[in-house]
């Protein structure tokens, strides 16, 4: 049994509350709370938001390892030419630097996106057999459309659509093997081919780097576009990849996502409504610049 359960999240200050919900759902789903170490790869956080995240340690005895990305030369240089958007900020590429940012003593780690909810003991996933591969993941539910894009032809020169393709929202990583691959050099080769602007952000990059070097895990560990119908299938990790998100105020009333009411109470009522005000404030500031 591992002495620690190492989990990585990467986010900016606009996603602090969902990050907290992921962390708290993990704590609520395991008896090994004091073995948990949350490695938070983050851009600058408001002091209030950082205190919210730190509450995990007081409630459950879990540990937090802070890894600030702001001003980190390694991160700044790596993401400088990476494509990004409002929905996919450059912080998403931090997961590609796991081997460089995390301590050498960490041998296996679980990466999770922040739009998730965990319902099963996370140690079962961290201790899963990866079949000798450096990476364990779940096949993407939109495979092969994401690979090929329009008419399943757009990226035919980059991907073979018959190949398996994983969703990068949940990754079980053998860091020793990851380090041996030298991910940064692999990304540089992809960039040198002029492909970056044609790729689906970090997920396509990871699928190219780990082509034929990943182990397929059960879909329950990354149940994508989670709807209420999924509740009957006992999903272990829900991944809210669709347009409807569980932190929307109407989600619990209209049942637009799986476990929406559960999610609100995992995030806690206080944080749920503060996050709603935060999102509304951002929406108005984008449209009314004088409010900035």
Map out the domains of the chain with their CATH numbers: 5-291 (3.90.550.10)
Q: Is the pLDDT of residue 19 over 80?
A: yes
CB 245 within 8 A of CB 263: no
Tens of pLDDT, residues 92-103: 889 999 999 999
DSSP assignment of 64-78: EEEEE-TT-HHHHHH
Tell me how crowded residue 82 is: count the other CB atoms within 10 A of its CB. Answer: 19
Strands (E) located in 52-206? 63-68, 108-112, 116-118, 135-139, 166-174
Tens of pLDDT, residues 111-143: 999 999 999 999 999 999 999 999 999 999 888
Q: Is the pTM of this model over 0.85?
A: yes
CB 134 within 8 A of CB 213: yes
Confidence of residue 1 (pLDDT cuts 50, 70, 90): very low
Backbone angles phi, psi at 7, to 5 degrees: -130, 135
């Amino acid at each position: 049994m591992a002495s620690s359960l190492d989990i990585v999240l990467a986010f900016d200050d606009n996603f602090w509350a969902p990050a907290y919900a992921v962390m708290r759902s993990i704590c609520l789903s395991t008896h090994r709370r004091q073995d948990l170490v949350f490695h938070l790869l983050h851009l600058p956080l408001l002091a209030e938001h950082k205190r919210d995240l730190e509450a995990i340690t007081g409630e459950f005895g879990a540990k937090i390892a802070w890894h600030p990305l702001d001003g980190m030369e390694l991160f700044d240089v790596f993401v400088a030419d990476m494509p990004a958007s409002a929905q996919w900020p450059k912080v998403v590429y931090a997961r590609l630097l796991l081997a460089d940012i995390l301590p050498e003593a960490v041998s296996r780690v679980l990466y999770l996106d922040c739009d998730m909810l965990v319902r099963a003991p996370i140690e079962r996933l961290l201790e899963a057999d990866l079949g000798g591969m450096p990476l364990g993941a779940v096949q993407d539910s939109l495979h092969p459309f994401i690979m090929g894009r329009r008419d399943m032809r757009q990226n035919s020169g980059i991907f073979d659509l018959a190949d398996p393709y994983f969703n990068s929202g949940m990754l079980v990583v053998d860091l020793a093997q990851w380090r041996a691959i030298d991910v940064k050099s692999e990304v540089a080769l992809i960039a040198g081919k002029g492909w970056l602007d044609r790729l689906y952000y970090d997920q396509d990059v990871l699928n190219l780097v780990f082509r034929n070097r990943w182990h397929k895990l059960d879909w329950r560990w990354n149940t994508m576009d989670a709807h209420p119908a999924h509740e009957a299938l006992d999903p272990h990790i829900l991944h809210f990849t669709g347009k409807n998100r569980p932190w929307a105020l109407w989600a619990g009333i209209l049942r637009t996502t799986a476990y929406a009411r559960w999610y609100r109470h995992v995030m806690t009522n206080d944080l749920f409504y503060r996050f709603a005000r935060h999102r509304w404030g951002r929406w108005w500031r984008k449209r009314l610049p004088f409010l900035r």
